[in-house]
Amino acid sequence: MSAVAQGHQVHPDGRTWKNHFPKGDLWVFGYGSLIWKPPPHYDQRVPGYINGYVRRFWQASTDHRGTPEQPGRVVTVIERTFWETLDDPLAHLESEASTTGKVWGAAYHIPASHAEEVHDYLDEREIDGYSAHYTPFHPTVDIEGAAGSTGSAPIICMLYVGQPTNPQFLRDAADREPQNVAQVISAGHGLSGKGSEYLFLLEKALEGLGLGTADVHVTDLVKRVKAIEAEGLAEAEEEEAGLKVTRSLEGSAEGSDRENGRATIE
C-alpha cells in the first residue's frame, strides 16, 4: 500500500528531494532505528551529528513498537527552539551535557540508481507520523568522493521527523514525563518487537558510534526501564513463591488428610 494511501505527509507538488540532491543520489540521516537497521543499497555509512534538535521518545507508535490499542513509544527529534518552550524535567541535564545542541547518528549515502527505491522504502517504514525534512549533517570522518571533505564540512541530509503537529506526538505534558515514558516503553510491543528492545538497541548503537555513551535522555530512560523490569521480575518471583507456598501447604494438607484417614481405619 502506498504512503499516500496510508496518510503519510507527502508534498502537494510531489517529492522535492531532488532540489536538495541535484545529482540524483541521496543522503539519509538516522537518529533512531536507522543507526542499527540501515536502509538498503547504501554504499557509505558516516557517523556524525545534526545541530538545533533534541532527541526524545515523545512519539507514539501504533505499529513497530506498539498497537493502536496500546501505543508504544519511539524516538523523534524536536527543533531545539520549540523544545525550549516545553516543560522537560531533563532540561538541566541537556545544558550540562558535553554534546549539548548535537544529535548524534549515522548518515547513509544512497547512489542515484537506487534513490527513488530507498525513498519509497523509507516512506513506508516511517509512515506512522513522520515526514521528510532536510538539514545540514556534520560528519566526523572524511566522506568518500565529497569535494573538500575534511571530516567537518557539513552536507545536506534527509531525515524523517515526527513533528509536534503530527497526531502521534505526545502533546500532553504528563505523557512526556520520563517515568511515564519508561513505563510505556517497558510495556510496549509491536510488529518489530518490544519497546524496551528498541531503547536498548538505540543505546548500544549510539555507543557504537564512538561516543562511548548515548545522550542523557536515552541513558536516563535505560535506567528507568531496567528498574521497572527488575521490579517486574521481582514481582513475578514473589508471585511464584506465593504459588509454591500455596501448593506446598495444599500438598501438606492433603498428606495430612491421608494420614488421618489411615489412622482412623487402623
Catalytic residue among 126, 203, 237, 266: 126
The region, left, alpha or beta by phi > 0 then psi within -120 to 50, assigned to residue 224 is: alpha
Give yes or no: 94 in active site. Answer: no
Please tell me the distance from the alpha carbon of residue 119 to that of residue 14, in angstroms, as a whole number: 12
Distance of CA 101 to the CA centre of its chain: 19
- Contact by Cβ (8 Å): 50, 137: yes
Sequence letter at residue 257: D
Q: What is the dihedral of CA 135, 140, 144, 145, to 10 degrees?
A: 50
User: Which of 187, 186, 167, 170 minimizes the C-alpha distance to 227?
Assistant: 186
Strands 102-110 and 26-30: antiparallel
Question: Could you identify the residue written with the cell 504512503?
Answer: 3
Which of 198, 210, 208, 214 has the alpha carbon at shortest distance from 75?
198
Using CA atoms, how far residue 32 sits from 53, 92, 199, 204, 218, in Å, is 13, 23, 9, 11, 11
Looking at the annotation, which residues are catalytic? 126
